[in-house]
């Protein structure tokens, strides 16, 4: 008993330490903002939350006093007519971390703008903080699952190590998500997509909870991209029964058909939108809550609020870990349900 | 509000990256993992099925043995019964034979006794007859000493003859 409670206590302590480290990584910016924006509107400190949640051209790790420890990231611009241009994000900031113009471009309010008189049409495909995090997660996913796959290639045997950790999850996705919602005879084709989707979301949700990390799955561009994958897979695999149901819903009286048709067609598009917004909102909201509670201590300038807030945000972070798993599950579950509806033969 | 507007660059890179991830994982991770899982599951299923089969075979064998044992026991009982019957028969026959022989011996003895008895009786009869003759002769001799008696007797005989 004693040992168990000690163990759980130490877990809470570790989590608290992580949270403190997490809060340190932006506390400096809070103070900095406090001092510089003192003359500006009250409660301007919430800016750091938005700054933390939004994408960035550099990876801000920690601020010690007035020194910003940042990881400069490459900036890639595709300019119409002149092709790709490569810079480093450090080119766009001076020694005091103020934005400066560089070769006709500058970073303003978190996005890249052309400064010159003549406006080139350009596409910004920079390796931003989110993209760097995306690449990191991909490397992690590849390392983990290629090493898991290696165990299966070695022939049969009881699961070992990392394999025994992921195998139940894979089997769960196969048996309790794909097989049930898509059907035992058709699910196999969609397994690679569903597995990749689940683990991509799970890994990035969890990575997003680590101190100083990017907020990839809380970014609407990412969730939209994932939702569109599901959307296109669903439409391209739509069988006759699926399209009949949408275009000529059975059992509907003729005068109602136009209305039902409109509703069904809207329904096709609400599915990816709901997928996009659900993941984006739940992850972003979790980050905002954690940051707000920690920020409270700095805004109110109170040690007590800071300590209580840190403990409280520890609990919120633990819930966030749960949310990270649930959202990965929900996104995969709904994707397989939509695919299941599309591939259904119409035999009920 | 900025949060709700998808960034084009990130969207493009995310799509490409996810596509590559999907492709690589499908080819090098999910395929071996899923087929390995399937293989393992089917082999476990097969192993379980063959274990079940072996158990059934064992049971069948056991019941066969039981049957064989029962048959052997029945056979033994039958043989024993037959042997007993045969023995009984033999005993019965022997007894019958014995009784027959003794009966015959008894009958022979009786017959012999009868014959002996008859012979003895005949002897006795002869003896008695001889004796009677002797006695009669003596008596007659005695009686017929005088002629009167002889006449009387002859008369008597004649009388009898006349009557006839």
- Provide the chain B residues 6-65 that lie in CB contact (below 8 A) with chain A: 6-15, 17-18, 20-22, 24-26, 28-37, 39-40, 43
Q: Can you read off the two tokens belonging to residue A33? A: 């903002």
Interface with A, mutate which of B25, B26, B31, B42 (most A CBs under 10 A): B25
Inform me whether the pLDDT recorded for B89 exceeds 50. yes
Asked if the Cβ–Cβ distance from A148 to B12 is below 8 Å, we say no
Taking CA–CA distances from A188, the nearest residue in chain B reads B34
pLDDT the model gives residue B132: 83
Residue of chain B minimizing CA distance to A57 = B10
* Average confidence (pLDDT) over A307-315: 90
Q: What is the mean pLDDT of residues B66-72?
A: 94
DSSP letters, B57-90, are: HHHHHHHHHHHHHHHHHHHHHHHHHHHHHHHHHH
Mean pLDDT along residues A256-277: 92
B37 and A130 in contact by Cβ < 8 A?
no
List pLDDT tens digits, range A127-155: 888 999 999 999 999 999 999 998 888 87
The pLDDT, as a whole number, for residue A44 is 52
Q: Residue A130: CB partners within 8 Å, gap ≥ 6? A: A55, A214, A215, A216, A219, A222, B10
Q: Is the ipTM of this complex over 0.90?
A: no
Check whether A34 has a pLDDT greater than 50.
no
pLDDT tops 50 at residue A40: no
Q: How close does chain A come to B42, measured CA to CA in Å?
A: 11
pLDDT at A29 over 50: no
Q: Give the residue, A15 or A306, on which the prediction is more confident.
A: A306
User: What residues does B38 pair with on adjacent strands?
Assistant: none
Q: What value does the mean pLDDT take over residues A240-265? A: 86
pTM above 0.90, yes or no: no
Distance CA A102, CA A100 (A): 6
Interchain contact, A188 vs B5, CB within 8 Å: no
Chain B: give the shortest CA distance to residue A287, in Å. Answer: 13
Of the candidates A76, A84, A197, A59, the one whose C-alpha atom is nearest the C-alpha of residue A136 is A59
pLDDT given for residue A49 in this prediction: 80
The answer to whether B18 contacts A149, with C-beta atoms less than 8 Å apart, is: no
| Cα A248 to chain centroid, rounded | 38
CA distance B154 to B141: 15
Chain B interface test: which of A160, A220, A233, A273 (most B C-beta within 10 Å): A220
Using a CB–CB cutoff of 8 Å, tell me whether B147 touches chain A: no
Confidence of residue A117 (pLDDT cuts 50, 70, 90): low
Mean pLDDT of chain B: 89
Determine what percent of chain A is predicted with pLDDT higher than 90: 39
Q: Can you tell me the distance from the alpha carbon of A229 to that of A198, in angstroms, rounded to the nearest whole number? A: 13
Q: What is the pLDDT of residue A20?
A: 60
Cα(A212)–Cα(A135) distance, integer angstroms: 16
Angle at A34 between CA A33 and CA A39, to 5 degrees: 100
Q: Is the dihedral of CA A280, A285, A290, A292 positive or negative?
A: positive
Residue of A nearest to B20 (CA): A138
């Amino acid at each position: 008993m004693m040992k168990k409670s000690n163990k759980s206590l130490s877990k809470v302590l570790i989590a608290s330490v992580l949270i403190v480290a997490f809060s340190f990584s932006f506390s400096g910016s809070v103070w900095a903002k406090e001092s510089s924006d003192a003359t500006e509107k009250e409660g301007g400190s919430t800016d750091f939350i938005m700054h933390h949640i939004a994408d960035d051209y550099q990876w801000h790790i920690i601020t010690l006093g007035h020194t910003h420890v940042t990881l400069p990231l490459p900036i890639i611009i595709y300019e119409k007519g002149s092709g790709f241009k490569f810079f480093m994000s450090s080119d766009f900031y001076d020694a005091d971390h103020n934005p400066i113009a560089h070769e006709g471009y500058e970073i303003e309010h978190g996005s890249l703008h052309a400064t010159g008189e003549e406006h080139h049409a350009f596409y910004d495909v920079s390796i931003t903080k989110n993209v760097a995090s995306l690449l990191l997660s991909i490397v992690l996913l590849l390392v983990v699952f290629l090493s898991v796959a290696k165990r299966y290639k070695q022939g049969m045997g009881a699961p070992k190590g990392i394999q025994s950790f992921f195998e139940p999850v894979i089997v769960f996705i196969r048996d309790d998500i794909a097989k049930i919602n898509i059907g035992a005879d058709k699910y196999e084709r969609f397994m690679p997509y569903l597995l990749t989707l689940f683990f991509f979301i799970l890994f990035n949700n969890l990575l997003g909870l680590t101190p100083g990390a990017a907020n990839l799955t809380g970014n609407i561009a990412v969730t939209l991209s994932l939702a569109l994958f599901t959307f296109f897979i669903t439409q391209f695999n739509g069988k006759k029964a699926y399209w009949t149901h949408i275009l000529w819903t059975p059992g509907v009286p003729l005068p109602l058909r136009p209305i039902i048709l409109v509703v069904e067609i809207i329904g096709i598009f609400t599915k990816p939108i709901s997928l996009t917004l659900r993941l984006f909102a739940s992850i972003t909201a979790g980050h905002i809550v954690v940051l707000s509670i920690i920020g409270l201590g700095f805004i109110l300038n109170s040690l007590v609020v800071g300590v209580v807030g840190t403990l409280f945000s520890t609990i919120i972070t633990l819930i966030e870990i749960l949310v990270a798993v649930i959202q990965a599950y929900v996104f995969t579950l709904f994707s397989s349900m939509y695919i299941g509806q599309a591939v259904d033969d119409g035999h009920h | 509000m900025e949060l709700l507007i998808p960034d084009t660059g990130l969207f493009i890179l995310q799509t490409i990256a996810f596509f590559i991830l999907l492709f690589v994982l499908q080819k090098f991770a999910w395929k071996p993992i899923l087929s390995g899982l399937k293989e393992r599951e089917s082999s476990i299923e097969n192993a379980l099925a063959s274990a079940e089969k072996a158990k059934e075979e064992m049971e069948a064998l056991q019941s066969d043995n039981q049957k064989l044992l029962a048959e052997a026991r029945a056979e033994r009982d039958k043989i024993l019964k037959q042997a007993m019957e045969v023995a009984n028969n033999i005993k019965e026959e022997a007894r019958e034979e014995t009784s027959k022989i003794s009966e015959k011996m008894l009958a022979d003895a009786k017959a012999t006794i009868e014959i002996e008895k008859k012979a003895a009786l005949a002897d006795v009869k002869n003896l008695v007859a001889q004796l009677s003759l002797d006695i009669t002769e003596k008596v007659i001799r005695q009686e017929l000493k005088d002629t009167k008696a002889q006449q009387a007797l002859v008369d008597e005989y004649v009388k009898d003859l006349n009557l006839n």
